Amino acid sequence: MKKRTIFLILILFSLFLNSCKYDFILPEVVPPIDNGGEPISFSTQVAPIFSTGNKCTACHKPGDKSPDLTAANAFAQLVPNHVNTASPESSKIYTVAKSGTHYASISASQAAIILLWITEGAKDN
């Protein structure tokens, strides 16, 4: 009988501890990128991240900040200097763009597209 009481107290206590679980603020969930089995296209999927709404190209344009991220020049400016295909996650264009502390920020899914493009070999496609 006594053991049973202790057992019950332990169960109640563990329920009590469980009720104190803390909900951490989770980072934005990035849906896996389904590109229909196709590789990411630099010209239609990556370059527009920088130029849409002049997000990056407001500063990163010819005669202004380097690298020039306008559609015509972005590839030549980024590859190979700002990408690291051996260690995609350490690529400058990826770390700076997703840092959230640079002048403009991109979404988690845009960052995932850039990372996938680098992982696939940073092709001019």
d(CA 28, CA 6): 43
> DSSP code of 29?
P
Number of residues that bind ligand HEC (CB under 6 A): 17
Closest by CA position to 52, among listed 34, 69, 35: 69
Site membership for ligand HEC, residue 88 (CB under 6 A): no
Say which residues have a Cβ less than 8 Å from residue 45's Cβ, sequence separation at least 6.
Answer: 113, 117
Residue 2: both structure tokens together: 């006594």
48-67 positions binding ligand HEC, by CB under 6 A: 50, 55-56, 58-60, 65, 67
30 binds ligand HEC (CB under 6 A): no
Q: How far is the CB of 34 from ligand HEC (least distance, A)?
A: 24
Residues that bind ligand HEC (CB under 6 A): 50, 55-56, 58-60, 65, 67, 82, 92-93, 96-97, 102-104, 106
